[in-house]
Structure 1
Amino acid sequence: MVGSDIAIDAADIALIRDDIKCILHLLSLSKKVTKTIKLNLTFSMVLNFIAVTLAILGILKPVIGALVHNAGSVMVILNSALLLNWKDK
């Protein structure tokens, strides 16, 4: 490996261009990603807690529970996919 390759592998962030204005965008994006992760975790935990509670009470059948779990996973993926079109203000 060349020295620059080793430096890139060791770095947390590697700039491809000389323009450092993208650092502000990167920081904003990382805050948005962290917020999205926390929201997704909260949503999935609450949904699973409600589904398990309803299953214990006998209200939620196993097949419907599996569908609810999969629907929750799809919602998390769709919410995360919104980051692909995110633009800094």
Structure 2
Amino acid sequence: MPKSLKAVYRNGAFILQSAYELPEGTEVDLFIQSPQVLSPPISDKQTKQQLLKSLVERMQQNPIPLNAPRFTREMLHERR
């Protein structure tokens, strides 16, 4: 019966997120589910400039409030 396990790829190895006992030498199949959706690269220079201009305009229209909380290094990194 198939079993779904979560793992993170780190330094060339898959690190399980929860303990699971497997006999040494057990063969497994990995199905990668990327947390990110990557757009294809934009090769047209004019399209790229328009996209970047639009992005900057949206950032300027939605500035970070002056009273926004400051994040510490520990808050920005996952703890396990």
Per the TM superposition, whether the score is higher than 0.5 is no
Higher helix share: 1
TM-score normalised to the size of structure 2? 0.25
Name whichever structure is richer in strand by fraction: 2
